[in-house]
Chains A and B, each alone.
Chain A
Amino acid sequence: DAGVIQSPRHEVTEMGQEVTLRCKPISGHDYLFWYRQTMMRGLELLIYFNNNVPIDDSGMPEDRFSAKMPNASFSTLKIQPSEPRDSAVYFCASGATREGEQFFGPGTRLTVL
């Protein structure tokens, strides 16, 4: 298996622009997680899905953030409009029902100018 796939790997955008991050989880995993990592706040859970349904989005910082999972093999995290404080590395992770461990993608490094 190729593991969790994220795109793009790097994104540089200007304040106010819409940003869409993409994730393909490991086939057969029922859970998908979106995290944000910064030096100041560490690794924070934003939202997670189970069987394509959002379960907990309490970590989503503001209404500017939204996430979707239209099918078992694809998820997006959208920021609209983006702000400089959104600059961070965004990770997607997936997990199987039976086990607790999560498998992380390589991350998307977002820079908002």
Chain B
Amino acid sequence: SQKIEQNSEALNIQEGKTATLTCNYTNYSPAYLQWYRQDPGRGPVFLLLIRENEKEKRKERLKVTFDTTLKQSLFHITASQPADSATYLCAISSGSARQLTFGSGTQLTVLP
């Protein structure tokens, strides 16, 4: 069966460190993989999209890698700040790029 797993439900790190979140998938051949941020009481907000033929994508302090052999994406936040505390969701497109299946999310807390 198809499955998307994010490494842990919760991750605590110290301010200034790099946070690394993992998204593993099985029985998908995604055309895209996306990362979203969700704050309590709000809808998810798009952060980054990476295509199957791309190895890495960067945006400011964010970096996403995509390894279709390992069936894994890593999401990095460098120089983390307390304001980065949120739940981060990975999402996979299968078939049509418009249809997404979301992982359960990782709740990141950056401690001051």
B-binding residues in A (CB < 8 A): 4, 31, 33, 42-45, 48, 50, 55-56, 91, 93, 95, 99-107
Residues in B whose Cβ lies below 8 Å from that of A48: 98-99
Residues in A whose Cβ lies below 8 Å from that of B99: 45, 48, 56
How many contacts between A and B, using CB within 8 angstroms? 45
Q: Which residue of A lies closest to B4 (CB)?
A: A42
10 nearest A-B pairs in the assembled complex, by CB-CB distance:
A104-B43, A101-B46, A43-B102, A42-B104, A100-B32, A104-B44, A100-B97, A100-B49, A91-B43, A31-B98
A102: contacting residue among B100, B103, B105, CB under 8 A:
B100
A-binding residues in B (CB < 8 A): 32, 34, 42-46, 49, 89, 93, 96-105
- CB-based contact B43/A45 at 8 Å: no
CA gap between A102 and B47 in the complex, in Å: 10
CA gap between A103 and B93 in the complex, in Å: 15
CA gap between A104 and B99 in the complex, in Å: 14
Residues in A whose Cβ lies below 8 Å from that of B102: 42-44
Question: Interface on chain B toward A: helix, strand, loop, or mixed SS?
Answer: strand
CB distance from A40 to the nearest CB of B (A): 10
CA gap between A75 and B34 in the complex, in Å: 25
Pairs A–B under 8 Å by Cβ, sample size 13: A31-B98, A33-B100, A42-B104, A50-B98, A91-B44, A93-B43, A95-B98, A100-B49, A100-B98, A101-B34, A102-B100, A104-B43, A107-B42
CB distance from B69 to the nearest CB of A (A): 22
Given contacts A44-B102, A105-B43, 13 further A-B contacts (CB under 8 A): A33-B100, A42-B105, A43-B89, A43-B102, A45-B99, A56-B99, A91-B43, A99-B49, A100-B34, A100-B49, A101-B46, A101-B49, A102-B44
